[in-house]
Structure formats: C-alpha cells, structure tokens
Structure 1
C-alpha cells in the first residue's frame, strides 16, 4: 500500500493556495492537511498538523519563506521544505538552500511535475528548477555581509543616513561604511541603486 504524504501549503494568495490544493488533491498519495497565508503562522501549523512536506512561498506577511524554512529545519520536526515561488531569482535559491530547503521551484511548474517533486522531497531527495540552478551557478555567490543586507533593506525604504542608522541600531558613520561597501559590491552609483540591484538578484 502506498504511503500517503501529508502536505502543508503556505502562500499569502488565496487563489494560488487554493489552486495548489486542488491540483495536489487529484493525486491519490498526497493529502493537503493544512493551509496558511502568513509566514508567522507556518511553524505552529507544522507543529500541529505534522506534515511530511511544506510547500512555502517566499514573500509572505509576518515572515518570509526563507526565514520560515530555517525555523522549520531548526526545530527538527521531520518536515521537509519545498520553496514554490513566483520569484525565480538565483540569490533566493542560494539562500533557501542555505536555510535548509529540500527544493526550489517556480509556480509555473506543471502540476504533475510538482507532485513528483513533492514525492521526491518526502523521500529525502533534493529537487531544483534546472534553469534556476544554472542561473545561480552563473550568477556567483552573494558578496554582501549580513550587516550590509540590513543597511540596504533600510535604505530601500528611503530616509536619511541618520534614519537608517536608527533603524539598524548603528552609528551614521558605520552605516556610511556599509553602504559604500555594498555600492561597490553591487557595482552601482548610490544606495538606492544598490538596494534595488540586491533585491533583483535575490540577495535581500
């Protein structure tokens, strides 16, 4: 008898989440046991429903999917994470795998292929969108430090150096140093361009 794989869906778009649930429900061996729409609800839902595989979007309110993946893998709950996202950025793939994800695919993956990926992840395998994997290798490693990422995230919201410094709890001089370094690493002209470039590459 085929083992039923318990699946949790985490996506902030009701239509996408419902569509995924309907598609996976067509598979005899897959059972969607929970659906959540916020990143900060996922860990509790995993603890409650004990899924084998969690399909997780990246951009959600409350907490992003990469942080959620790190929480789940750190909690050792026996749930493997498969990132399913609209944002197929090479930097996201690298960060997701570093966080402990077992796979990374984009949302336009055919439903039969997605179902097979869920089975592979449940079996302990790793699955990656092949084009994203190739792009990630070609794109190089994220050169930013964690502090530089913090400063760029604050810079993306606008505001003065002093406002950024207050947000990240650093001195204005230290913020300027981090921004200067990040601008150099992203080969851009100013902090706004650096933040945008880092976001586009999936580094933030």
Structure 2
C-alpha cells in the first residue's frame, strides 16, 4: 500500500503500533482516539480508529450487502454477532476493512504486524458468517490517512503519542475504556497531563 521510506530508520516505524491522541489534539474527529497503524512510510500513513463505534451492527451490515437473508440472521455464529463495527476514521465512508489474527489468509490479505493482518474483501465476511473466519477480528468502516510527512509533523507538535499494540488491547471488547487503559499502561496520568506535554 505504501512503499519506500524517507530514511531506513523511519520506514514502517509505526507499523503495528497504537497512536493515542494527546489532550491538546486540535482535530475533534480524533479526540481521545486510539489509532492502530497499518502502514507508515515516506508516502504517508494509514490506520484505523479502534475506540469509536459505528451505529450499524455487524449482522445488519451482512444483511445490507446481501450476504445474509432475513431468516438467517438469528443463526449467525456467536463470533459474528459479537463483532462491533468501528469508525475507522474520516476517509472513504464506502469502504470496510477487517483487522484480524494471522490464522486467516486469502490472496487479498495484507500482513500488518507479526500476528495481525488486514483483509478488505468480502471473502472474510463470508468466512466469519460461516464460522470459518479468524479467531479474533474487528471491522472498521472508513479509515484514517496522512499525507507524506503529515503524521510526523503532528507527532512533533505533540498531537500523538505512540506505544506497542498487544493483541488483547487491539481486539478486546472494552472499547470505551481503551484510551484510558492505554494511557495508564504507559504511566500517564491524564488528570495531571497538560495539553502541551511531549512524549514522556
């Protein structure tokens, strides 16, 4: 998706990491957001907000795109019924993406990190519906994107702080508490953090 690098040390530096919006984030769309970065290079960056929820339910989405008939909705596997669709970001509201563990791979699957992959085709939705999908997955509608150098500039201006992304924190169901838990895990007390603080 994104190739090349500004310098060797920067290529893919944020791949598979979380970005947490700092309290002084000027863009309200990203306030208190946790973004999982899938690609980062000199051509820009791309990822998904994972702690904002879309109003549409996963079974309803399957029905809307014609994968499931009305009478089949009640027989969906538990895993499919429990998937919560995230608001991945402000870009391209017509596209859906599934982040998932690497136990599911098709031709269109793109490895993101050592044990996380991205699939953006309907095949994975059919697999999840059929009970044969990945062990852990989350779906996002839309995505977050940055032009070349934009994300680096925002980080330099203390808009974001980055940290390692564990599978548990990526895929767990506590969406509302994810931001606070990650900040706490990093040893950051939000009540004492001034809006112009830097990366500790």
* TM-score (ref. length: structure 1): 0.26
> Which structure shows the higher helix fraction?
1
Greater Rg over alpha carbons, structure: 1
Higher strand residue share: 2
| RCO higher in structure (CA 8 A, sep ≥6) | 2
TM-score, normalised with respect to structure 2? 0.26
